Homo-oligomer: A and B are copies of this chain.
Amino acid sequence: MLALYLNDKLELRDLPRPEPQPGEVLIRVRLAGVCRTDLEVLQGYHGFRGVPGHEFVGQVVAPEDSSWLNRRVVGEINLACGQCLRCRQGLAHHCQQRQVLGMKGRNGTFAQYLTLPAANLHSVPEEVADDAAVFTEPLAAALQVLETAAFSPDSRVLVVGDGSLGLQISWILALHGAEVHLVGRYPEHLELAGAYGVSTYLEPEMTQKDFDVVVEASGSPSGLELALARVRPRGAVVLKSTYSGGYPLNTADLVVPEVRLLGSRCGPFPAALRLLQKDWIDPRPLIYRRYPLAQGLEALAYAQEKGVLKVLLECGE
């Protein structure tokens, strides 16, 4: 099968089709999405070697006796051991032995086929097109901010960062009834939030402050600096971004105003699928370009250009 493979650099390769192990299924990938985390993996994050990519929609093609056969699916990216203390305590997403699709010990979605445990799968409702379903994973990650911080419908919220994740977060908070503000760098991105009733600003124009919650999704340390400056005392900053270089935290910025800094990662797939099914969220305006998998190297190069939102790989045969 055709796949992108990361060794010292990223290459297009012909790899053997993977064999599903007991409890697993073989999935033919229809579409895969490129996320900023994938770009970080290409830069050496996690020290991963293999097929990158973790966003996908596909079709189960084996084994023959699986109840999932022929179903269109999306899949959760953490593969827990199921045995350790953390798994038994309900922290399977944080299993220390876990594999992570396209990031840690497990080949990912930038390929014609992949294998996953059946336990990781979610059926895609008929109404959800492939190019919407491929957003299930990032939309779930966006939904997780609702779990991470206590939002109320009358919260006054600022989202920092107008990338794909920041925009999806702003939409979800708007659906929640909250008063949502988004600060970013690209007028054409901000427009995509305006459609959901979000108030938008380019960074130099942003003067408001004392937000109940600020969600930092910019991927840049200056975004966290802005977040800490604009949150109200006893408010919360939800951190969706990691920065390779670290952030010089002045602990007085948390202690004196009693601010909470909350790490937030993967989220609930079923909720994301419900929002897509109802068409309350339509992520497709985020799609900038689609490439066949055979042009995957070109696609990844394009995805790294400034201001590019979602890039999709068409992996079907």
Contact = CB atoms under 8 A, between A and B. Distances in A.
Interface string A218-255: 00000010000000111000011111001111111111
A258 interface: yes
Interface in A253-282: 253-265
**How many copies of this kind of chain does the complex include?**
2
User: Which range contains the number of A residues in contact with the other chain?
Assistant: 35 or more
B252 A249 contact: no
Dominant secondary structure of chain A at its interface with chain B: mixed
A154 to B, nearest CB: 12
Interface in A45-65: none
Contact of A246 (B148, B239, B243, B251): B251
A91 interface: yes
A94 interface: yes
Nearest to A264: B258
Contacts of A290: none
A247 to B, nearest CB: 5
Contact of A234 (B85, B91, B232): B91
B263 A256 contact: yes
B260 A254 contact: no
Given A242-B255, A254-B261, A255-B265, 7 more contacts: A239-B254, A246-B250, A247-B249, A247-B251, A258-B262, A261-B261, A261-B263
The 9 closest A-B pairs by CB, nearest first: A254-B263, A94-B233, A249-B249, A242-B252, A255-B263, A261-B261, A247-B249, A258-B263, A246-B248
7 contacts: A86-B233, A94-B233, A247-B249, A248-B248, A251-B263, A258-B264, A261-B261
Interface of A: 85-86, 91, 93-94, 148, 210, 224, 232-234, 239-243, 246-265
